[in-house]
Structure 1
Amino acid sequence: MAGPVPELEDRATRCARRLCEADRVLLASHIDADGLTSAAIAAQALERAGLPFETVFEKQLDEEAIAAIAATDYDTVLFTDFGSGQLDVIGEHEDAGAFTPVIADHHQPADRDTEYHLNPLLFGIDGASELSGAGASYVLARALADLEPGVAADGGATGAAGTTTARADNRDLAALAVVGAVGDMQASGGELQGANERIVEEGVDAGVLETGKDLALYGKQTRPLPKLLEYATDVGIPGISGDEAGSLRFLEDLDLELRREDGEWRRWSGLTSEEKQTVASALVRRAVSRGVPAKKIDQLVGTSYVLSAEPVGTELRDASEFSTLLNATARYERADVGLGVCLGNRSDALERARKLLRNHRRNLSEGIDLVTREGVTHEAHLQWFHAEDRIRETIVGIVAGMAMGNEGISRSKPIVAFAEKTDDEVKVSARGTHGLVRDGLDLSTVMTEASRAVDGDGGGHDVAAGATVPAGREAEFVERADEIVGEQLS
């Protein structure tokens, strides 16, 4: 069966065959939502193919982490959602005979290649907007299943269209690939594009995904209706966004039944189609009457990605909420919890993830308040702040992105955030907007070049990237980064 991304099919098959030749595999993955879903897809594909494996997670795949991997007795290492940017270091260990790398990634490759390297950028596909790390893992998973056509990877027989066939050829893993892509901010303009669209189509055909036009607000599954509107600040509707009393008055004026029989607030996911249309139409009218630009109003509606098998009203039902739940696990050193949720643990792992999510939201809120209150420093072409040890280095980038647009924090410049990592190192996170990217911004290049200018290292995507630099050299980093951004946007 043809894979979801024909351009990658031959390379994916070659990588899959190499994995099947291994006695066992070490699976190494990144810790964000895209990394966790990448690992979960790869883990299930390996298990279904009967390949023994062990999973490890790394916050950053630096020289020390790669050396630790090389010191294990695994001859085959599968890297997911990282590895491409570290190929120069990985290649040294490969040349020394430490292990054979198989890489399923979407980040900018280092100036070296290896035989089993699956990356959309090598085939003219944008890894920042058209295929995520989870998407690359999904392409590999489909290739693994295709090596023995007609036989289910779990030993069951294949049949007509349906769940059995979807599991047999790994198309049921498309839902996790979409969660990874959404978590990696690839749904620009309100929907997934490029190769991601083909994965969505496979997920819909497999019965694990549902899509459709819907209100493009975060929290449609879990937030009470008034909170859904109050926290909807991306579009910014005067009298509703950021206004608890205003959002409630708005809803009450629509003459809707706002509470369930048990007295709890209703949620968007529990409204009828007619009720949803009533709210959406009223939001548009309010936005027009308050002078919100038409371009912003268009952003009120986007494509929704719903995981069909998950219960209505839970974080797992919506791809965006699912990805946020995952981000709340590994960023607090509990990658095992996030992986467990992805693999279907709906008891202990899910409850632990929800507790971590509550803590994550509290930390994000406090971080955003801190940055908004203390402000940022504006350079000619970028803006920055240094959180020191007051914001965790694992979430400072998320805070920076969410703070953009708040008072004194521009959306017309990329934002750079610093946070203490160790006594000797500082984490740098940078966030931009898709509009800035269209104008020429490439934060991956900015982070790579500016960090190396101060004896650090970095990389990432055009709209979001990161680096690690020596403590005390932040000013030099900012100066060089500002120069590069200026050159890109000139």
Structure 2
Amino acid sequence: MTGPVPELAERATACAEFLRDCDRVLLASHIDADGLTSAAIAATALERAGIPFEVVFENQLDEDAIAEIAATDYDTVLFTDFGSGQLDIIGDHEDAGAFTPVIADHHQPADRDTQYHLNPLLFGIDGAAELSGAGASYVLARALAEAADHDVAADGGQTATTARADNRDLAGLAVVGAVGDMQASGGELHGANEGIVAEGVEADVLETGTDLALYGKQTRPLPKLLEYATDVRIPGISGDQSGALRFLDGLDLDLKADGEWRRWAELTPAEKQTVASALVKRAVSRGVPASKIDRLVGTSYVLSEEPVGTELRDASEFSTLLNATARYERADVGLGVCLGDRDEALERARTLLRNHRRNLSEGIELVTEEGVTHEDHLQWFHAGDRIRETIVGIVAGMAMGNAGVSRSKPIVAFAEKTADEGDDADADAVKVSARGTHSLVREGLDLSVVVGEAARDVGGDGGGHDVAAGATVPAGREAEFVDRADEIVGEQLG
């Protein structure tokens, strides 16, 4: 097998062949969009390979969560979108004979390894920018299909070559995971992700093209699309409802249908070109820097089998829908949507999404009104219990660029951890989420190192990626964490 990422082919094959010989598997995955798509890809591949499995989700794969997994009667555990960073703990349970781990992840590995460890970082591929957890799961899924084909051929049968049979139809989910993991730097996916995109296009489950790089092209009416476009702020349009309406009314286009504003996805190519050109002209006339204007256009990733005008057709909107499920303790709903439930699960996900958007809006308003504290090299705020720990990082990232919140410094957010029912162990812990920008990463920022080292220095632990990371630290030691993190960021950015 060569597969979409040749560098991982040999290891993926070894993992797949081991899984093929297992009687059953416990599939454990993270809860964000990348984790949910990772789980869905792996679950589909296991089902198609005829391997019985059960799925569990964890917000944080800590010692207690791993101990609970070890206490099950599963001999094999497949970890997706986490596991690498916890290999020291997982390895202790493996050595004790609790289970054999198979890991498909893209996070920085702990200083230990295991035989069935599929991680791009082990093969010179950037796991923060070039391959997500869903991408690693997709590589494994392709290898599982290959292993199944070999079994059929060995029995004298004929192997199938359809996209479903070789799992290429799962490429769309892998792209959703990568986009949800903020890997579309500069408006498009890079590196190993490109091989997955190519397979998705070949399998007719994915379409790509140059398009307006604004969130909500499938579902938001045009005025809302422009009003809420905050990544590139255009004076007189962004954040200005009446301004957005005046802009659209000034175009020589019929942008309404039956009295209602149309959506971007419903426009003809010529109409899109007219609107986009007018936006660029407005941005230039209002003094928006050329480097920011360039960000108005990027590569679109469309799931071609999903209906036009739905959240599921656009990779970015799909990933947001998924984030609105597991972050509110409904990972089962997100998984159901990924696995094709377009009835009960999708409706429940949409309800959760409306709630999610409201919470994000209120969180951003809170941060903007109360402001952030600026250190020499970073900025931070403490939300206490006013923003859920599962979304405080998203709020922090979205607040960057608002009044008083800089995009030239990484932002650190604190929130009280939510104790599990009947367990007050988390009452003395605080969740830390950190967000940066890809331009800061290009200057040398690595939040995984910043958060990990600062957390461990105050008795906590953490990690993640260069552009986004998280940790848990003891309550009362936030100031120490900020001091140490600010010092490390200063060293990285010179």
TM-score range relative to shorter protein: over 0.9
Residue in structure 1 matching 2:326, options 327, 330, 334: 330
Residue in structure 2 matching 1:272, options 268, 273, 277: 268
Instruction: Give the match's secondary structure for 1:468.
Output: strand
Q: Mark the CA change 1:240 to 1:102 in structure 2 (over 3 Å): closer, same or farther.
A: same
Q: Mark the CA change 1:136 to 1:297 in structure 2 (over 3 Å): closer, same or farther.
A: same
Instruction: Give the match's secondary structure for 1:316.
Output: coil
User: Is 1:400–1:416's contact at 8 Å kept on the other side of the alignment?
Assistant: yes
The Cα of 1:291 is off from its aligned counterpart by 1.0
The Cα of 1:301 is off from its aligned counterpart by 0.5
CA distance in 1, matches of 2:438, 2:207: 26
Residue in structure 1 matching 2:316, options 315, 320, 324: 320
The Cα of 1:258 is off from its aligned counterpart by 2.2
2:195 corresponds in structure 1 to: 198
| 2:417 is the counterpart of 1:413 | no
Residue in structure 2 matching 1:168, options 165, 170, 186: 165
Q: Which runs of 4+ in 1 moved over 2 A?
A: 148-153, 155-160
CA distance in 1, matches of 2:283, 2:373: 32
User: Is 1:152–1:169's contact at 8 Å kept on the other side of the alignment?
Assistant: no
TM-score relative to the length of structure 1: 0.97
Residue in structure 2 matching 1:189, options 180, 186, 191: 186
Ranges in structure 2 where 5+ consecutive residues have no aligned partner: 418-425
CA distance in 2, matches of 1:264, 1:20: 53
CA distance in 2, matches of 1:78, 1:175: 21
Residue in structure 2 matching 1:454, options 458, 465, 475: 458
User: Is 1:108–1:460's contact at 8 Å kept on the other side of the alignment?
Assistant: yes
1:177 corresponds in structure 2 to: 174
The Cα of 1:379 is off from its aligned counterpart by 0.8
The Cα of 1:117 is off from its aligned counterpart by 0.3
The Cα of 1:149 is off from its aligned counterpart by 2.8
The Cα of 1:144 is off from its aligned counterpart by 0.3
User: Is 2:20–2:147's contact at 8 Å kept on the other side of the alignment?
Assistant: no
2:421 corresponds in structure 1 to: none
Deviations along 1:318-358, one digit per CA (max 9) or x if unpaired, are: 00000000000000000000000000000000000000000
Could you tell which deviates more after superposition, 403-412 or 323-332? 403-412
1:260 corresponds in structure 2 to: 257
Residue in structure 2 matching 1:354, options 307, 330, 350: 350
Residue in structure 1 matching 2:241, options 216, 240, 244: 244
1:60 corresponds in structure 2 to: 60
2:71 corresponds in structure 1 to: 71
User: Is 1:240–1:247's contact at 8 Å kept on the other side of the alignment?
Assistant: yes
Residue in structure 2 matching 1:215, options 187, 191, 212: 212
The Cα of 1:21 is off from its aligned counterpart by 1.4
CA distance in 2, matches of 1:401, 1:5: 30
Code of the residue aligned with 1:412 in structure 2: it is S
User: Is 1:330–1:338's contact at 8 Å kept on the other side of the alignment?
Assistant: yes
User: Is 1:135–1:180's contact at 8 Å kept on the other side of the alignment?
Assistant: yes
Residue in structure 1 matching 2:400, options 404, 428, 435: 404
2:489 corresponds in structure 1 to: 485
User: Is 2:383–2:413's contact at 8 Å kept on the other side of the alignment?
Assistant: yes
User: Is 2:49–2:148's contact at 8 Å kept on the other side of the alignment?
Assistant: no
Could you tell which deviates more after superposition, 15-24 or 208-217? 15-24
Deviations along 1:412-456, one digit per CA (max 9) or x if unpaired, are: 110000000031110000000111111111000011111111111
Q: CA RMSD in A?
A: 1.4
Code of the residue aligned with 2:388 in structure 1: it is R
Code of the residue aligned with 1:205 in structure 2: it is E
Could you tell which deviates more after superposition, 40-49 or 477-486? 477-486
The Cα of 1:203 is off from its aligned counterpart by 0.1
1:425 corresponds in structure 2 to: 429
2:121 corresponds in structure 1 to: 121
| 2:446 is the counterpart of 1:442 | yes
2:299 corresponds in structure 1 to: 303
The Cα of 1:265 is off from its aligned counterpart by 1.7
Ranges in structure 1 where 5+ consecutive residues have no aligned partner: none
Code of the residue aligned with 2:93 in structure 1: it is H
Instruction: Give the match's secondary structure for 1:390.
Output: coil
Code of the residue aligned with 2:407 in structure 1: it is R
Code of the residue aligned with 1:296 in structure 2: it is K
Code of the residue aligned with 1:470 in structure 2: it is P
Alignment of 1:124-139 (within 5 A): 124-139=124-139
Residue in structure 1 matching 2:225, options 225, 228, 238: 228
Residue in structure 2 matching 1:374, options 370, 374, 394: 370
Alignment of 1:42-57 (within 5 A): 42-57=42-57
| 2:116 is the counterpart of 1:104 | no
CA distance in 2, matches of 1:47, 1:379: 51
CA distance in 2, matches of 1:430, 1:46: 34
Deviations along 1:435-484, one digit per CA (max 9) or x if unpaired, are: 11111110000111111111111000000000001111111111111111
The Cα of 1:387 is off from its aligned counterpart by 0.1
Instruction: Give the match's secondary structure for 2:27.
Output: strand
User: Is 2:149–2:160's contact at 8 Å kept on the other side of the alignment?
Assistant: no
CA distance in 2, matches of 1:223, 1:152: 47
2:422 corresponds in structure 1 to: none
User: Is 2:412–2:433's contact at 8 Å kept on the other side of the alignment?
Assistant: yes
CA distance in 1, matches of 2:150, 2:267: 42
2:386 corresponds in structure 1 to: 390
TM-score relative to the length of structure 2: 0.96
CA distance in 2, matches of 1:2, 1:166: 16
The Cα of 1:290 is off from its aligned counterpart by 1.0
Q: Mark the CA change 1:212 to 1:152 in structure 2 (over 3 Å): closer, same or farther.
A: farther
Code of the residue aligned with 2:9 in structure 1: it is E
Alignment of 1:337-348 (within 5 A): 337-348=333-344
CA distance in 2, matches of 1:207, 1:45: 19
Code of the residue aligned with 2:480 in structure 1: it is E
CA distance in 2, matches of 1:157, 1:273: 44
1:24 corresponds in structure 2 to: 24
The Cα of 1:2 is off from its aligned counterpart by 2.3
Code of the residue aligned with 1:45 in structure 2: it is A
Q: Mark the CA change 1:152 to 1:381 in structure 2 (over 3 Å): closer, same or farther.
A: farther
Instruction: Give the match's secondary structure for 1:317.
Output: coil
